[in-house]
Structure 1
Amino acid sequence: MRFTLSASLAVLPVLAAALPHETHTSIPISKRSSLRNADGTVDVKALRRHLAAVESKIHRGNAAYERNRGHSLSVVPPATSRKREEGVDFDTGSSDIFLPAADCKTNCDGHVMYDTSKSSSSKPLDKPFTLKYGDGSNVSGKQFSDSVIISGLAGENQVIGAATEYSEGFSSKNFPPDGLMGMGYQSISEFDSPPLFQTLVEQKKVKEPVFAFKMAKEGSELTLGGLNSKLYKDDFTYAAVTKQAYWMVKMDSLSLGDKAVVESASSIIDTGTTLIIGEHDDVAKFYKDIEGAKDASDSLGPGIWTVPCKSIPELSLTFGGKSFPVSKETFNLGPAQEGSDECVGGVGHADVARVGWIVGDVFLQNVYTVFDLGKNQVGFASLA
């Protein structure tokens, strides 16, 4: 899921100090740009770009994992208006940080720049970087080491990409945040460098090696170094990380009503993705029992499916033996076009390189999610 947040004069945001009597740092975050037009219909072009970008991100992460670790990551067989300051997209589906450099001349207008010359701790690493995305977008520049500060927590000697070029997909109108902060594992880092949260843990800057997200249209929050007990209720249900690359866990099932459509599948818990995404055949199996469901790849774009607006299905995902429902509101992305009785479904397909399902915002808005780097597990609890 894409988010921005305010910042002070630091590389990354310094917004909120730890709350009194709390052992964590809470950071208010705001939802990224909507995939809906002003009239409530789905912004199909934006949805196409998003699906392509997710697909490319997974391929790029897989390639980085193979390069960094020497073997493949594939785990399943082939399927049959106010003043802005620095902000980043918090993405558990990637592991690097980049921001536009002060000398960026391409598509950086409207973004706050990272000026390495004004940072006394910045050191050039004499290494270029390029990140390419499936929608044709790319980011390129040079790598630096610097002290990166987020909400008062400083990660020393953190590798960060200073982008000298943003493609159109990262212009401010298409990408409201200034940059991106990856929160996956080092093994999928293009820089082969520890992600910032891992750096904070290793340098003992946080009390506990966990971070958590509440995702909602309003009142969203990222919590670093602990949990915010005000945001959830009941106990957590945990799923162990099966491979330390993405936050990859076993999904017991994906169900329609009481029927499990998919069972015992690998999944990636990804805050940088809006939909729930699987390979084509698996997604087709999911929609098979929904009367009126259509593969709209030819009419709307690759990977997009529609369902009758009057028949939004009851969907649930099961992790660690517990079923978590997905609200009809989050599953329904909106009408395919003005006046249409067909709505775009929150489950789509893409070539996700045989790593399983990508579980994004459509599910995550329904739970409080904790990413436990100490015990290598992901936990879910009901929202308070």
Structure 2
Amino acid sequence: MKVSFALAVGSLAAGLVEGANAGNGVVQWDIQKKPPPPEAKRLGKRASTYEEAVSNEEMRGGYFASCTLGTPPQDLTLQLDTGSSDIWVPESTAQVCRKSGGCTFGITPSDSDTFRITGPDLFDISYLDGSSAKGDYFTDVFDIGGATVQNMTMGLGNQTDIGYGLVGVGYALNEAIVGDTGSASSAYPNLPVTMVNEGLINTVAYSIWLNDLDASSGSILFGGIDTKKYHGDLARIDVYPTQRFYTSFKVALTSLEASSPSGSDALTSTSFPIPTVLDTGTTLSYLPTDIAMQVWKEVGAIYSRDFQMAILPCSLAASKGILTFGFAGPSGPKINVSMDELVLDLTTDGPPVFTSGKYKNQDACKFGIQNFTQAPYLLGDTFLRSAYVVYDLINNQIGIAPTDFNSTESNIVPFPSASAEIPSATPVPNQAQATIPPAVTSPAYSASPGFTDSAAGSRNKNAASGMPEAFGVPQLCILGLSTMMIMVGSGVFLVLF
């Protein structure tokens, strides 16, 4: 990706908002932990707030929104993704749909009177797990919870091996067409910008409350924040640019601490400050190998050669240990993540069983923090459920606070204008310190016994001294990223802090 057009795309995003006839509203999608309904149940318009049912599809890897597209409307279930920037949908005649006997999550273009092709064979997106989608760009009516967006530009996947589409809400530079054509002039107003232009919200910003892993409700809120969905105060931290322009929600992770009834440890890495992207489109979280190994050792996770990832007994979900993530330097916010948010099913047809080692005969689950060998790293849903996060694409800032799990109250505060800063958020002082690498030391692993004592009765007393076996000899490598999708070709991975 060349700097010349990338800078222009950043300017374009701001220009599209300037002068927009923004109203005073917000648009909200509710999250419900249940299978997508055959017909999206419209909850109706409440003042200027819109709601739509969304399901937490853990095994499919993300949070899915029920939307409609076209005239007359066709029901769709699309994954919400802060790590990409296009809405795209599979065509019902795509090969993946024919193989599966039809795509529940695809569309039939000929059934919509308002469907218009805008650019043949221009939509092309690929992911690091090898999946992809290709086809045309088109415009049509798009409905999010009763708020209708006219002439929304989207991608049509008529050549795809993915059976569902995405709602990408990232920066304009991350649009697939910009990476494919190498031209800023190819960029178009994506969903958040179009919502501003059509007066639904006041600024290109949204907040996310995923709630806990087993929750029955949560929300995605465009154009505002909900002050009843987090504890304490929102801290406002900077998004870091790539070569002076903004491509992803990359922030500085500056500390990580493991705490349990047996003690606390400050974990360190040669990669601190760690550039991490806050990405709802990623199921797990991916950290540098050196600190990922420390985390595994603390919590009792072990690397499985068979599954190509760190795994652990499912019983460790009951562990009393927590991991504390710190951002933007010593004065920045800290988010606690408990073990019940980090232990996930490995398969849909029952857990496999450890066949050897200290966990022999125990059910095996995957661990929510894996390793990766290059920046930027990713904090996905296993982290984001524990944080209330506000994404401000105009001021290039993130608001973050500990989530209020299962809150039943709501107090929605809209952004008052296109350039307004995050409501009720306090800027973190001395953020320049976030780029100063701390000293790298070896943890004492005093927290390690407490992570396993509180949950697994078969703990090996010598576990803190080394990595035990599971299913074979443990090997550290770049993990197969089959559980996440990251767009390539946009240049977002080229430059670090």
Partner of 1:299: 306
Is the contact made by 2:92 and 2:103 (CA closer than 8 Å) also made in structure 1? no
**Structure 1 residues 138-189: Cα deviation after superposition (integer angstroms, max 9, x where no partner):** 222211133433223344443211111331xx23xxxxxx311111111121
Is the contact made by 2:124 and 2:177 (CA closer than 8 Å) also made in structure 1? no
Structure (1/2) with the larger strand percentage: 1
Determine the C-alpha separation between the residues in 1 that align with 2:344 and 2:58. Answer: 13
Q: AA paired with 2:171?
A: Y
| TM superposition shift of 1:292 | 4.4
1:81-230 alignment to 2 at 5 Å? 85-107=75-97, 109-117=102-110, 118-120=112-114, 122-167=116-161, 170-171=162-163, 178-192=164-178, 193=187, 194-216=189-211, 217-230=215-228
Determine the C-alpha separation between the residues in 2 that align with 1:291 and 1:226. Answer: 37
Is the contact made by 2:115 and 2:138 (CA closer than 8 Å) also made in structure 1? no
Q: Which structure 2 segments of 5+ residues have no match? A: 1-30, 63-73, 179-186, 354-360, 408-497
**Structure 1 residues 320-364: Cα deviation after superposition (integer angstroms, max 9, x where no partner):** 41211101100122586244265432110235x421x20111111
Determine the C-alpha separation between the residues in 1 that align with 2:130 and 2:279. Answer: 21
Matched, 1:287 2:299: no
Partner of 1:278: 287
Q: AA paired with 1:331?
A: L
Q: Which secondary structure does the structure 2 equivalent of 1:106 belong to? A: helix
Q: Which of the numbers 275, 281, 285 marks the counterpart of 1:266?
A: 275
Q: Which of the numbers 371, 374, 379 marks the counterpart of 2:394?
A: 374
Q: AA paired with 1:90?
A: L
Matched, 1:363 2:371: no
Q: Which secondary structure does the structure 1 equivalent of 2:296 belong to? A: helix
Is the contact made by 1:24 and 1:206 (CA closer than 8 Å) also made in structure 2? no
Determine the C-alpha separation between the residues in 1 that align with 2:125 and 2:32. Answer: 17
Q: Which secondary structure does the structure 2 equivalent of 1:246 belong to? A: coil
Q: Which of the numbers 332, 348, 362 marks the counterpart of 1:340?
A: 362
- Once the two structures are overlaid, the 10-residue window that deviates more, 23-32 or 316-325, is 23-32
Q: AA paired with 1:261?
A: L
| TM superposition shift of 1:318 | 1.4
Determine the C-alpha separation between the residues in 1 that align with 2:79 and 2:382. Answer: 17
**Structure 1 residues 36-62: Cα deviation after superposition (integer angstroms, max 9, x where no partner):** xxxxxxxxxx8xxx9xxxxxxxxxxxx
Q: AA paired with 2:352?
A: Q
Is the contact made by 1:123 and 1:146 (CA closer than 8 Å) also made in structure 2? no
Cα separation, partners in 2 of 1:196 and 1:30, compared to 1, 3 Å: same
TM-score by length of 1: 0.72
Cα separation, partners in 2 of 1:124 and 1:322, compared to 1, 3 Å: closer
Aligned-pair identity in percent equals 23
Cα separation, partners in 2 of 1:247 and 1:2, compared to 1, 3 Å: farther
Partner of 1:331: 342
Is the contact made by 2:287 and 2:371 (CA closer than 8 Å) also made in structure 1? yes
1:14-53 alignment to 2 at 5 Å? 15-20=42-47, 24-34=49-59
Q: AA paired with 1:95?
A: S
Is the contact made by 2:117 and 2:136 (CA closer than 8 Å) also made in structure 1? no
| TM superposition shift of 1:125 | 1.4
Is the contact made by 1:248 and 1:266 (CA closer than 8 Å) also made in structure 2? yes
Partner of 1:64: none
TM-score by length of 2: 0.57
